[in-house]
Amino acid sequence: MSEKRASWSGQLAFVLAAAASAIGLGNLWRFPYLAAQYGGGTFIAIYLGLVVTLGFTLMVTEISIGRMTAQSQLTAYARLHGGWGIVGLLGTIIPLLITPYYCVIGGWVLKYLVAYARMAFTGAAPMGTAAADSGAFFNSFISAPFAPFGYGMVFAIACACVIVLGVKNGIERSNMVMMPILFLMAVAISIYVICLPGTGDGLRYYLVPNMDCLRDSAGRFSPALLGKTILGAMGQMFYSLSLAMGIMITYGSYMKKTDSIERCVRRIEIFDTFIAVVAGLMIIPVVYMFAVKTGTPVKEAMNAGPGLMFITLPKVFATLGATGPWLGLTFFVLVLFAAATSAISLFEACVASVCDLLKLDRKSATFFTGALIMFLATFSAIGYGPWADVKLFGMQFLDFFDFITNSVLMPVVAAATCVFVGYVLGPRAVIGECEAEGQAFHAKGLYAVMVKYFAPVLVIAILVSEICRALGIGGWKI
């Protein structure tokens, strides 16, 4: 590895790379679901409030740690304080466990892209008439003995090819191509959906604040339901911004001292939130219209996760006639780009850690990390097929890896980081990094209060609520 650390060509490159990391599958299949469940505009307003406070604090912290140490998350904490290296180790385990199953899901997206290309260009109907068999098509694919692994490996190898080219020639250039296309397609699809006859009620359902989500069965305001809505928005914000995955620390380590961390974070928040809201515009109105046509309750039609994207939406596209396959093809190209930009960021967090720890050059580190990721991906790829009967704590491999990283390790690392900066390193260290080279840090008062007093408590609340949700403790569900 060269002595001089790689760097972004400029502030725009960093913002696009960080935004590309944040704009992933969570924005496309979880944000619309949560907005539909929790009062549309009510949820959006709460989400925005959390993004500009808690999300801002956590992202500024991680980027600052990366830039002040010029290290990935694995070695950054130990560089600042020898006794806190364990946080860096946990922070490295997270992307190492997420990347394999994320590549498997990327393979699912690639499979659907191929299926919709066949439908658009040849008139094939692999999911049956009106996509009535979309559920069977999806289940048949993920339970196959080899196909999920094969598609996942194609996706993983494509990401590795970007990583091996380096920060500027690989990650930066790929984002300069994929991100504008992603934005244009998202806007184009949302405009098309808005212009469809009969989507007005769906738009109102999504955008107009509905306070019914905060009232109990007797019509009274419920603090418990407000807390549940806030926790749902907080959890979505936490995962949507790619926090506690090592990505922002790694990307921050490539950032120039002359770039304003505060300004970059605000722009990343705008990009990420814009795509999240547009995702709702793409999905909620047509699903609402589909639910009304079929007599299905809207909240039931708005599934969370893969069910929405791979089962419900194909049925929705099928109701749009001849334009359905083309809309589906465009949509899954967008989803593929969103998945790829996030996977590349996760992959880079792993590769950078290997480079920093073992002092390997980028090619060797990418090969080593790629081999390990492909091995770990095997468990998720065939976890619904040949190994369907093998479960960890009652969960399939992919679900278990998702639970242990998203619901446990990420909140633990984020809370530990807040305690570390708030009470060991001191907020002044991060504030000083944000003010390097004479840069202004207008929100330093908010930052100091948040990182010491509010952020640790809120992140721990996410940890508790996510564990309760995943394990069904107390009937908790978001």
Q: Encode pLDDT of 165-187 as tens digits.
A: 999 999 999 999 999 999 999 99
| Mean predicted confidence (pLDDT) in 117-136 | 88
- What size, in residues, is the chain? 478
By the 8 A CB rule, do 245 and 76 touch?
no
Among 211, 193, 189, CA closest to 202: 193
The reply to whether 423 falls in a domain is: yes
User: For 208-217, b where at least 16 C-beta lie within 10 A, e where not — what string?
Assistant: eebeebbeee
Domain CATH number, residue 155 = 1.10.4160
In a domain, 380, yes or no: yes
Q: What CA–CA distance (Å, rounded) separates 97 from 268? A: 25
Residue 296 has a pLDDT of 83
In this model, does residue 3 exceed pLDDT 70?
no
Q: Are 151 and 107 in contact (CB under 8 A)?
A: yes
Mean pLDDT of all residues in 341-353: 96
Q: Kindly state the percentage of the chain with pLDDT values over 90.
A: 76
Q: What is the pTM of this model?
A: 0.93
Does 175 reside within a domain?
yes
Q: For the ranges 65-74, 79-88, 216-225, which has the lowest average pLDDT?
A: 216-225
What pLDDT is attached to residue 477? Answer: 62
- Residue 2 confidence (pLDDT) above 50: no
Cα radius of gyration (the chain):
22
User: Per the structure, how many domains does the chain have?
Assistant: 1
Query: Which is more confidently placed, 324 or 306?
Result: 324
pLDDT value at residue 13: 93
CA quadruple 39, 44, 47, 52: dihedral sign: negative
Measured distance CA(190)–CA(292) in Å, rounded: 20
Residue 119 has pLDDT above 90, yes or no: yes
CA angle 186, 192, 197 (to 5 degrees): 145
User: Which residues are 395's β-sheet partners?
Assistant: 392
Lowest mean pLDDT among 87-96, 101-110, 216-225, 433-442: 216-225
How much is the mean pLDDT over the chain?
Answer: 92
**Per-range mean pLDDT, top range of 90-104, 220-234, 382-396:** 90-104
Contacts of 330 (CB under 8 A, 6+ apart): 185, 188, 189
- pLDDT bracket for residue 472 (50, 70, 90): confident
Taking the CA atoms of 29, 30, 32 and 37 in sequence, report the sign of the dihedral they define.
positive
Under 8 Å between Cβ of 330 and 149: no
Confidence band (pLDDT; 50, 70, 90) for 476?
low
Task: For tokens 């969370």, name the residue.
Answer: 304
Residue with tokens 């850690």: 353
Quickly state the pLDDT bin for 478 (edges 50, 70, 90): low
| 329 domain residue, yes or no | yes
Q: Is residue 274 domain-resident?
A: yes
- One-letter amino acid at 363 equals K
Question: Is 349 within a domain?
Answer: yes
pLDDT level of residue 216 (50, 70, 90 thresholds): confident
Task: Quick: pLDDT tens for 245-302.
Answer: 999 999 999 999 999 999 999 999 999 999 999 999 999 999 999 898 888 887 788 8
- Per the structure, the complete domain to which residue 244 belongs is given by 11-475
- Residue 1 placed within a domain: no
Q: How confident is residue 474, by pLDDT bands cut at 50, 70 and 90?
A: low
Distance of CA 445 to the CA centre of its chain: 29
Picking from 186, 463, 174, the residue whose alpha carbon sits closest to that of residue 342 is 174
DSSP 316-328: HHHTTGGGHHHHH
- Residue located via tokens 């989507």: 199
Q: In this predicted structure, which of 77-81, 104-108, 406-410, 418-422 has the lowest mean pLDDT?
A: 406-410
379 Cβ contact partners less than 8 Å away, ≥ 6 residues apart: 100, 387, 397, 398, 401
Stated as kind and residue range, the H or E segment containing 60 is helix 56-69
C-beta of residue 264 within 8 angstroms of C-beta of residue 18: yes
d(CA 455, CA 468) in angstroms, rounded, equals 20
pLDDT of residue 85: 95
Helix 85-122 and helix 410-419: axis angle, to 10°?
A: 140
Please tell me the distance from the alpha carbon of residue 281 to that of residue 209, in angstroms, as a whole number.
15
> Nearest 5 degrees, angle CA 404-CA 406-CA 407?
70
Per-residue confidence (pLDDT) for residue 282, from 0 to 100: 94
| Tens digit of each residue's pLDDT (9 = 90 or more) over 357-415 | 999 999 999 999 999 999 999 999 999 999 999 999 889 999 999 999 988 999 999 99
Per-residue model confidence (pLDDT) at position 66: 97
Is the model's pLDDT at 71 over the cut of 70?
A: yes
pLDDT mean over 101-121: 96
Note whether residue 4 is domain-resident. no
Per-residue pLDDT at 130 exceeds 80: no
Q: Quick check: 339 and 24 in contact, CB under 8 A?
A: yes
Identify the band that residue 1 occupies on the pLDDT scale cut at 50, 70 and 90.
very low
Q: Which amino acid is at 58?
A: L
